[in-house]
Structures are given as structure tokens and as C-alpha cells.
């Protein structure tokens, strides 16, 4: 596993590439994979590269098709210089392991002909696919072969491991077969990347050759997300006292987060009027979290906020909350962590010792064991009572975000890898286009 990306000549990086992106999530989704894939595509297009995307209609994290889109029809659109092809998608009304497989398979099958058409006619230099959904990986490999292109698999979530560890699918022969299939697929890509060092090591464990593994972390626009000089206007809008300490959870509300610990901590601290909990987001777990918090006067719920209010939302926090289930340790690296750090606030997270989340958050906050609501509540209350320590931790968090997760820095390094590794394919493609 390489610690850094290749450095390339400036002149080489100016040659326009064609990049075909395949994945179930894309802009205008505001959280998770869709947010990052969209930002990556637009960033590449701004720098003169041709980008096309084969994706589904926006649906995450509400699990409902976005307004103005259809889950039954194909559609093409142009967004900020990127050609986007939307393919039909089935959305389950209740999420189970089997229904999730059917959901992902519906997109993999509907997008297959569109992906092959673009590979055959447009001839990209790279076919880049995001996992989830790994169900798209076979199509991406075939498309790369048809186009004579390089292939790149980017793993944001080890979905096969997570499905079994979280109990969404039963153990036994099914797991053995799924892991063998996953191993065979991953090892075939020219590049396989993930968002943390520990997740990259897991790629090695799954049979990806070391020379093909790339660390490609999530990023944050540290100009857009930054500490405000004054209190967030959201605090005034919500009528929260300037003296109150706000403990904020924001983002997807799903199975991997272990959200029940939020309700338990809020209940334990209900007698401490100095601490207010704000839970903002959407997802399959929100309804249950609202039920668990019913009657708690120290808890407020907000809907998912528009992107133009994200900095105000993150600055509403005095303390950010990052719960996780222990079974998800190092299977995912929470994307929301980048914004939390960039806002210059400390984080209280649940994570097992030695995991990537624990190692990062310990620099700028407190880490407690997953499922231990008493520890979690105590850590929140302790930080709430020490404003100087919160400021010190917040300063370190901001510095870490700027140093490690700055958007342009991460994406420039990614572009360097694309350019260096795709040079032969790109030069051959350019010669054919000019012939």
C-alpha cells in the first residue's frame, strides 16, 4: 500500500482525459457517496476533463426518489459540465438484507446497457466505480475491457462484510460465496482505493495486489466549511441560549450508526439544563430515534439541511457526536467526520480501540466504547463543562482537516494518479481520435 500518490509533470496533467463514472449515488444527494462522487466529477470537469456518469435518480438518505426525478424511466441531463445518465431504480419500502440486494441489483441491471453503450461509443480512458454498490463492479470491468480503458474501484464501505456483521444477511455458505466473489472482483481492477489506511489494509487482505492499492480519503472544502467568528445563526433561529452547550449529530440516520446511544445519552443528561441535543438528518433510523427521544425536552430534531446552510449547521455544535456500532469498525470511515473537523469543534465518538476512527478522533476529542451510553454521556458532560479544552481540541481538529483532508489537495493527488497510470491508454486514445 502506497503512502502517497505519484507526482506527475504539470504538462502531463493538462492533457484532457475521458472518465466514465459508474455508481448508484450522485449529486444532488447531500450526504455520503453521492456528495463525494458529485464533487469529484465536477472538480475534474472544471479542470478540462470530460466526465460522464451512469447513476440512479437521487434517493439517499430519505430512500425516496427526489422531486422531479423518476425511478422508472431513463433520463439524461447536464450538470455543471458533466453528462449524467439516470437509470431506473427500485426503492424498498422497508430495508432488509434481501431487499437491499434486490435494490442494488435493480440498478446494476438497468444501468448495464447504458454503461456498455458509453464504453463502446465514447471510449473513456478510465472507468471508475464506487462501492457500494459492488454489484456494479462486473459491469465496470466489462466496460473497461470494451473501451480499452483502465478500471478503478473505490471502496467507501465494505458492504459484504457489513451486511453479515450487522446481521442483515445470515451466516454460512452465503457469506463464503459472497466473500469469494468479492475477492475475485476486487483483484481484477487496475486500481482499488479506499478512504482510510485501515480500509486499504483490508483491500490487501481481500487479495488486491499491494501495488494497485491507493489511499483516497474523503475530503472537505475547508474554505466553505470553517469556524464562524460569531455564533451560528441557527442557534438564534432555534431559540437556543448562547450559554447552552449544543451536542450535535448530523447526517444519515441508518443501521450502521448505532443511533440508540444518542437517545440513551440524552435521557441520562436530561437533568443537565446546560446541554442541548440537536439531531439533524434523514434515513431509515430516524423514526425509531424520534420514538426513543419522545418526551425528552433537551432534544430537538431538524430535517436534512441544504448545502448552503451546512456551515451554519456544523457551527451550531459545541460538540459533535459520532456514534457507531462496533460491528462496523473499519468497515466504513464516516464521511461526516471531515466536516466536523473542518468546523473546528471537538468530537465525541464511539469506536473500538485501534480502529481508524479511534486513532483520528483521539487527537481532537473523546472516544468511548460502542454501546456504552454511560461513558458516552459522561464524555459529553465532561467536555461541556470545560470550554477551554473544547477550544483546544477544536483548533487541533481544524488544523488536521486543513492538513489531511483539504479538497483540492486530495483531488490533485487523485488526478495525478489518474494521469500517471492512464498515460499509455490516454496517448493511444488521443492518437486514434486524431486519426
The domains located in the chain, with CATH, are 10-219+406-434 (3.40.50.2000), 233-404 (3.40.50.2000)
Provide the pLDDT for residue 284: 83
Secondary element (H or E) of residue 236: helix 233-238
Measured CA to CA, the distance from residue 286 to residue 250 in angstroms comes to 11
Provide the pLDDT for residue 72: 95
Measured CA to CA, the distance from residue 394 to residue 317 in angstroms comes to 11
Provide the pLDDT for residue 73: 96
Measured CA to CA, the distance from residue 91 to residue 77 in angstroms comes to 21
What order do you get walking across the sheet with 82-86 strand by strand?
A: 75-79, 82-86, 50-55, 18-22, 126-131, 150-155, 191-194, 213-215
Peptide bond preceding 408: is omega within 30 degrees of 0, i.e. cis?
no
The candidate with the shortest Cα–Cα distance to 18, out of 169, 108, 149, 134, is 149
Q: For residue 283, give the C-alpha cell.
A: 434515513
Do the Cβ atoms of 394 and 227 come closer than 8 Å? yes
Measured CA to CA, the distance from residue 159 to residue 132 in angstroms comes to 6
Ranges under pLDDT 50 in the chain: 2-14
Long-range contacts from 194-200, C-beta under 8 angstroms, 24+ separation? 194/154, 194/155, 194/156, 194/333, 195/155, 195/156, 195/333, 195/335, 196/330, 196/333, 196/356, 197/1, 197/356, 198/330, 198/355, 198/356, 199/155, 199/158, 199/330, 199/331, 199/333, 199/356, 200/1
Provide the pLDDT for residue 331: 58
CA distances from 429 to 124, 198, 286, 360 (A): 8, 36, 49, 42
Angle CA 12–16–18, to nearest 5: 125
The candidate with the shortest Cα–Cα distance to 243, out of 227, 233, 231, is 231
Provide the pLDDT for residue 7: 38
Question: What angle, rounded to 10 degrees, do the helices at 407-421 and 423-434 form?
Answer: 70
The candidate with the shortest Cα–Cα distance to 350, out of 386, 326, 374, is 326
Tally DSSP H helices, then E strands, for the chain. 17, 14
Provide the pLDDT for residue 289: 95
Provide the pLDDT for residue 167: 65
Provide the pLDDT for residue 4: 41
CA distance between the termini of the chain: 39
Tell me the pLDDT of the chain averaged across its residues: 89
Do the Cβ atoms of 269 and 298 come closer than 8 Å? yes
Amino acid at each position: 500500500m502506497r503512502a502517497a500518490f505519484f507526482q506527475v509533470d504539470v504538462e502531463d496533467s493538462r492533457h484532457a482525459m475521458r472518465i466514465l463514472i459508474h455508481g448508484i449515488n450522485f449529486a444532488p444527494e447531500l450526504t455520503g457517496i453521492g456528495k463525494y462522487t458529485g464533487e469529484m466529477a465536477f472538480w475534474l470537469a472544471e479542470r478540462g476533463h470530460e466526465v460522464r456518469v451512469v447513476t440512479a435518480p437521487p434517493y439517499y438518505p430519505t430512500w425516496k426518489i427526489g422531486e422531479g426525478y423518476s425511478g422508472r424511466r431513463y433520463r439524461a441531463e447536464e450538470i455543471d459540465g458533466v453528462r449524467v445518465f439516470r437509470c431506473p431504480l427500485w426503492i424498498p419500502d422497508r430495508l432488509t438484507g434481501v431487499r437491499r440486494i434486490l435494490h442494488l441489483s435493480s440498478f446494476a441491471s438497468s444501468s448495464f446497457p447504458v454503461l456498455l453503450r458509453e464504453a463502446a461509443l465514447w471510449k473513456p480512458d478510465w472507468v471508475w466505480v464506487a462501492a457500494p454498490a459492488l454489484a456494479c463492479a462486473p459491469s465496470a470491468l466489462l466496460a473497461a475491457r470494451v473501451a480499452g480503458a483502465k478500471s478503478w474501484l473505490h471502496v467507501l464501505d465494505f458492504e459484504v462484510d457489513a451486511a453479515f456483521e450487522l446481521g442483515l444477511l445470515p451466516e454460512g455458505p452465503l457469506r463464503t460465496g459472497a466473500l469469494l466473489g468479492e475477492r475475485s472482483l476486487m483483484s481484477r481492477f487496475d486500481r482499488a482505493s479506499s478512504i482510510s489506511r485501515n480500509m486499504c489494509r483490508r483491500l490487501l487482505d481481500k487479495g488486491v495486489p499491494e501495488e494497485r492499492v491507493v489511499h483516497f480519503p474523503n475530503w472537505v472544502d475547508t474554505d466553505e466549511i470553517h469556524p464562524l467568528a460569531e455564533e451560528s445563526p441557527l442557534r438564534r433561529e432555534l431559540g437556543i441560549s448562547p450559554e447552552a452547550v449544543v451536542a450535535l449529530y448530523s447526517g444519515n440516520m441508518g443501521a450502521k450508526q448505532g443511533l440508540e446511544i444518542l437517545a440513551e445519552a440524552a435521557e441520562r443528561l436530561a437533568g443537565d439544563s446546560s446541554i442541548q441535543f440537536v439531531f439533524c438528518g434523514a434515513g431509515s433510523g430516524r423514526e425509531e430515534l424520534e420514538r426513543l427521544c419522545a418526551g425528552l425536552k433537551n432534544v430537538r430534531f431538524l430535517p436534512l439541511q441544504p448545502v448552503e446552510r451546512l456551515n451554519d449547521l456544523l457551527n451550531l455544535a459545541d460538540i459533535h457526536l459520532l456514534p457507531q456500532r462496533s460491528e462496523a469498525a473499519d468497515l466504513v470511515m464516516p464521511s461526516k467526520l471531515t466536516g466536523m473537523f473542518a468546523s473546528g469543534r471537538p468530537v465525541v465518538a464511539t469506536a473500538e480501540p485501534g480502529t481508524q476512527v479511534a486513532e483520528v478522533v483521539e487527537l481532537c476529542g473523546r472516544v468511548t466504547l460502542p454501546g456504552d451510553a454511560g461513558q458516552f454521556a459522561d464524555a459529553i458532560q465532561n467536555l461541556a463543562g470545560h470550554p477551554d479544552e473544547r477550544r483546544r481540541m477544536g483548533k487541533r481538529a481544524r488544523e488536521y482537516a486543513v492538513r489531511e483532508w483539504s479538497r483540492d489537495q486530495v483531488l490533485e493527488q487523485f488526478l495525478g494518479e489518474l494521469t500517471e497510470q492512464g498515460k499509455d491508454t490516454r496517448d493511444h486514445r488521443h492518437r486514434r481520435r486524431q486519426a
